Structure 1
């Protein structure tokens, strides 16, 4: 682990003393007498910790801390201060400084403070590694998803915009969640907006906020989602549906880092990590003039493409088991299982709706089963690969409700028996009932073997 320390102190004796003390303990130390020299050194190489006196010639120590926090957020900071300046030092700590040393301080006190910083940094690094494994818990996947997981881990802590591509229902929002949870921003806001869910005039106000009186109904100032997400992550779902006029305004925010409320004139600085998602073909949208080329290149810095569920092999089984547990617990049917035939049908289905469709199918099946086992008959006909039987759909309107239900049940059972060659167990599984219930219904409905 690197332990590079930059010391800025205008008193020569103190500067040399700090450098000798830290160097003797194995730290790599550079020291300067003013902030300008220190900032120049930071442009040439990286430092883990900056220790600076509060009072310096030229730029003050507080101003130096502000510059370093803005330009080199990964560098820790520590202040050296005289006793009367302790209040200012505490204020600096609230703004991000790790600690302060009050003159005169001993070599032991210096070493304890510096070691405490590096211990803290190591704990933080271990915590990030833990989050890297835990932050993807919501995402289930095998071999086909490993490139996606690797890219998420690689870019989670960057400020670069991310564009998540993939068919509807493949889990694009889960990618945005993982990027936020694995980043250092995870204790800040994670704001989401669906660009297709709001009309243009409301979408602009949602994004940028508005001043009182900006339009009819604007009775008070409203903070927009960009301001609310400051320091955190902003997820734009269905970015391909954003109106062209708003695309231009969004581009300006991404380029300048400033927003202006609707009806206002004062620019407001925002620092937000943006994640975009769409199921649309943005290349086609560019050709049609429905999406701005400059915005496309601005948001498509790091793309993540999700494969359709039909290309994810054994992931279907993993997701199936996950949803069985989830909805079994939600609907009071813990321990629910799935029959081999139902599982085979789910494995052989194409899933045009991807994971969202599988989730809905499993929840429906959990609700329908009464025996703790999802059977073939609990699945929709499209999944079973069946054409709907003609007779049940032809119950005459003149038939009463009770008789109509009996007629429908009778025809469904006869249809299942015909399909299974009169094998009762198979027919029962197809209908989603037990063999015992099938025998009883056959008797009640006058169906002979």
Structure 2
């Protein structure tokens, strides 16, 4: 996408020649001959760079520079003037201009400065959400997970929308981060959004941001998640939890890659790769009328299934070794080992919470261990009745496992739901929904209201 440049100069001859020269180089040019014209354009269009004259017929370029800075658009500004002084140049730089160029001057010099300013803007927008040093997912001996990573590497070379499918705790966000880290967008931001946290009132503000004064309390411009993800990857987690009424707004963004901030009129563009994830059967949800078919088709360009941990048990020893190393670093310990009996117990367990639950169990065990060796006595969380049993139907057992895990976490956190949700790696909204769906409201331990929010 070619850069969008606004030229603000009352010298029509200079403005026209500059417009023609830059347009020939492939830039998208907009013009203004006054502060008033520039303000109208700033309200309605998104820009990457402004070439701003110091002296305009209806105002001071430095004053307009202040207004631009308050808009929060992260647009770069190069001041241009035929009457510039060192003092004015210093003032412009202090107010946020990235350069100060005298006119008339060599076009080649100005173009070089424009390229430098655009590189600076790109660097600023990429600085958030970097995945430098990202460690690839641990897959051990699993052929299924090895195939998943191979599919990710192939998909990473495209901008195709990807839908990650799998149970809670299977590592969908980790896989999304891996896809980003091996893609050409790796130097851009990775921005994760949990759709389970959205309400109709917050969707626009959280995703698309707002303008100053858009509503009570909106004292300054807020950049939304889609704007933060420009040049990188936008990860929409728990997409199946998004309320039906909000799905049309998301669909429009996915179709057009354009959006408008709350309280604004300017249609903005963003260059993002979208990866979504869910533990729901979205095809069934569409038939039940809980998910828009058009949104499902738009997301389901390529779907990738992540198997539950019970289907790749052969990699549990590798995962355990990885998590023990992590915990040793986290707790500043020399290292941890695990007995064959304890490892066998981990291999036998059904892992309804998948890799996330395994990591939590290992972390708790390392906290309990006094000598650095994890034994069976350090795994009280895996009660005998939670082991995989050949009796009983699969779904009934799975529901029972989920109930026990939630109740165990609540007991350990003295009833504090916020802390219990964090311990299980769940968003509080999702955690409370699971309590309700599993009918646990009357079985919960008393909570300390002074510590729960």
Q: Normalising to structure 2: TM-score of the pair?
A: 0.57
User: Which residue of structure 1 aligns with residue 271 of structure 2?
Assistant: 271
Deviations 1:101-147 (A, max 9, x none): xxxxxxxxxxxxxxxxxxxxxxxxxxxxxx99x86524434322111
CA distance in 1, matches of 2:26, 2:113: 12
Offset of residue 216 of structure 1: 2.6
In the alignment, is the contact (CA less than 8 A) between 1:345 and 1:384 conserved in 2? Answer: no
Contact 1:164 1:275 in 2 (8 A): yes
Q: Distance in 1 between matches of 2:110 and 2:157?
A: 31
CA deviation string 1:221-271 (max 9, x = no partner): 222111111111111110111122221111111111210111222211111
Write the mapping of 1:397-408 to structure 2, written as runs, cut at 5 A.
none
Q: CA RMSD in A?
A: 2.8
Are positions 1:166 and 2:166 aligned together? yes
Aligned to 1:331: 331
Mapping of residues 375-414 of structure 1, within 5 Å: 375-380=375-380, 382-384=382-384
Return the alpha-carbon distance in structure 1 between the equivalents of residues 22 and 216 of structure 2. 49
Instruction: Give the equivalent residue in structure 2 for 1:140.
Output: 139
Q: Secondary structure at the match of 2:310?
A: helix
Q: In structure 2, what is the Cα distance between the partners aligned to 1:62 and 1:182?
A: 34
Distance 2:269 2:329 in 1: 45
- Report the CA distance between 1:84 and its aligned residue: 4.2
Residue 290 of structure 1 corresponds to 290
Return the index of the structure with the highest Cα Rg.
Answer: 1
Alpha-carbon distance in structure 2 between the residues aligned to 1:386 and 1:349? 7
Alignment of 1:85 onto 2:107: yes
Aligned pairs (5 A) from 1:356-375: 356-375=356-375
2:227 is the alignment partner of 1:215: no
Aligned residues: 282
Distance 2:386 2:213 in 1: 59
Relative to structure 1, the CA distance from residue 187 to residue 369 in structure 2 (aligned partners, 3 Å threshold; closer, same or farther) is same
Deviations along 1:335-372, one digit per CA (max 9) or x if unpaired, are 21111111111001110000011111111111111122
Q: CA deviation at 1:380?
A: 2.5
After the TM superposition, which residues 152-191 of structure 1 pair with which residues of structure 2 at under 5 Å, given as runs? 152-191=152-191
Query: Please, what TM-score do these two structures have when normalized by structure 1?
Result: 0.58
Contact 1:341/1:376 (<8 A) preserved: yes
The residue aligned with 2:354 is: 354
C-alpha deviation, 1:62, in angstroms = 5.2
Separation of aligned partners in 2, 1:288 and 1:348: 36
| Matched residue SS, 2:197 | coil
d(CA) in 2 for partners of 1:221 and 1:152?
36
* Cα distance between partner residues in 2 of 1:381 and 1:92: 60
- Say if 1:328 and 1:374 are closer, same or farther in 2 by CA, change over 3 A: same
| Unaligned 5+ runs, structure 1 | 1-58, 68-82, 98-130, 388-449
Match of 1:303 in 2: 303
Distance 1:179 1:281 in 2: 22
Offset of 1:85 from its aligned partner? 3.3
Q: Deviations over 1:286-308 (max 9, x none)?
A: 11111111111111111111000
* Cα deviation digits, residues 420-441 of structure 1 (max 9, x gap): xxxxxxxxxxxxxxxxxxxxxx
Give the drift of 1:323. 0.8
Offset of residue 197 of structure 1:
2.0
Residues 85, 279 of structure 1: alpha-carbon distance in 2 compared, 3 angstrom cutoff: same
